[in-house]
Amino acid sequence: MRNLLLLLVLGALSACTVVPGSHVSGSADSRWFDDRDAGEQAEPDEVRIFPIRPGMSALMPRESAPELPEELELAGGEHGDHYDYVVGPGDVLNITVWDHPELTIPAGSMRSPSEAGNWVHNDGTIFYPYVGVVEVAGLRVTEIRDVITRRIARYIEDPQVDVTVAAFRSQRVYVAGSVREPGAYPVTNVPMRLLDVVNAAGGITEDADWRNVILTRDGREYRLSLRAVYERGDARYNILLRAGDVVHVGRGDDNKVFLLGEVRNPKALMMGRNGLSLAEALSEAGGINELQADATGIFVMRRSTEAADKIDLFQLNAKDATAMVLADEFVLNPRDIIYVTAAPIARWNRVLSQIMPTIQGIYFSARAERELDR
């Protein structure tokens, strides 16, 4: 019995080091703690603990749209109001000289306007009667009209010339990623903005991350937000696209939060397009384990926005269940870790579950020795 009592005392004294599983140290009453104070191997991260309280809006993580580079803002404002299509190789032009049908190739019932028009050759030129070879690549249709009018005026008095683009084939915008119909979409004489090309591609899919749209232009990448356009009507992000632009709508697979510890169903949870609150995440995990969890120790862990080597812990004391109202107001960030720590009695029971087999073994061994001595 003395051996048993000694073993129990040693187990009680060493409970903090032999408890199985992980645990979050500290409390919301302490501002900072460092692993170097624990007497173990020092970790590079310092941890700050903040209590989740009413009115802590300054600590609430709020999604902010990516900063829009100045060159994109200037490009959208300059060319959006004065946009005009520039002809390129592969386009098909329709040229009409009024009152002179012999100079106009009609589009009959067997041919479409694009088949009956003047195709812009690879060298950027077209051929037209009386005018000859005309370099049209890089010109607007109004400029092409002026060139043809000036040249044909040598043969026709006061010519009335009209030039239109029958087929837009020279310039493309490419859409990839989480859209329903990825592919190449032609740039036309109608200004094409970000929403236009996404809608032309059938819209975004269910797993799309509409906060993470990458525009590649002239070898540079820009991050845009469709959410800023759809939800807040921020027209700055609905930028005017150019030929050769590549729009990639990211997947939302990485926008997860992780639920660990004393919850009924530990899991990785997708955040979805509209974000996720702490209460929603706990609900998706089946709630906390009421028999094992310490309701005062519900933590949200994330890398600090101030420094990459610091970790911020937001602690919710849900001993009073009405605190879940605060959990519903706390907006999670992607890659947050939600950890519900175990109650002290649960941790002690785990220690007992480890040492009881040893105690029972010693007890039955001693009992067997006594039986033999008899």
**pLDDT of the residue at 40:** 46
Helix and strand element counts for the chain (H, E)? 10, 17
CATH entry, 70-83+170-251, from 3.40.220.10, 3.10.560.10, 3.40.640.10, 3.40.50.2300? 3.10.560.10
**pLDDT of the residue at 196:** 93
What is the mean pLDDT of each successive set of 10 residues along the chain, which is 374 residues long? 55 54 56 41 64 65 64 57 87 89 61 75 92 93 94 89 93 94 94 93 88 90 87 84 93 85 89 82 88 86 78 87 86 89 75 73 74 72
Q: Which backbone phi and psi does 62 adopt, to 5 degrees?
A: -115, 130
Cα–Cα dist 294/346, whole Å: 9
CA 85, distance to chain mean position in Å, is 33
Helix axes 344-373 and 2-13, enclosed angle (nearest 10): 160
**pLDDT of the residue at 167:** 92
Contact 97, 156 (CB under 8 A): yes
Torsion sign across C-alpha atoms 105, 89, 147, 77:
positive
User: Cβ contacts of residue 267 below 8 Å, gap of 6+?
Assistant: 258, 259, 284, 285
Residue 374 tokens read as 């008899």
Nearest of 26, 33, 49 to residue 312 by alpha carbon:
49
Contact 283, 267 (CB under 8 A): no
**pLDDT of the residue at 38:** 43
- Within 10 angstroms of residue 215's Cβ, the number of other Cβ atoms is 19
**pLDDT of the residue at 294:** 86
**pLDDT of the residue at 338:** 92
Cα–Cα dist 318/328, whole Å: 12
Cα–Cα dist 97/170, whole Å: 25
So where are the chain's domains?
A: 2-60+254-349, 70-83+170-251, 92-167
Pairing state between β 256-261 and 337-342: parallel
* 92-167 has the same fold as 2-60+254-349: no
**pLDDT of the residue at 306:** 74
CA 132, distance to chain mean position in Å, is 54
For residue 96, what are the β-bridge partners? Answer: 162
Record: fold of 92-167: wza like fold (3.30.1950)
CATH entry, 2-60+254-349, from 3.10.560.10, 3.40.50.150, 3.30.70.260, 3.40.50.10470? 3.10.560.10
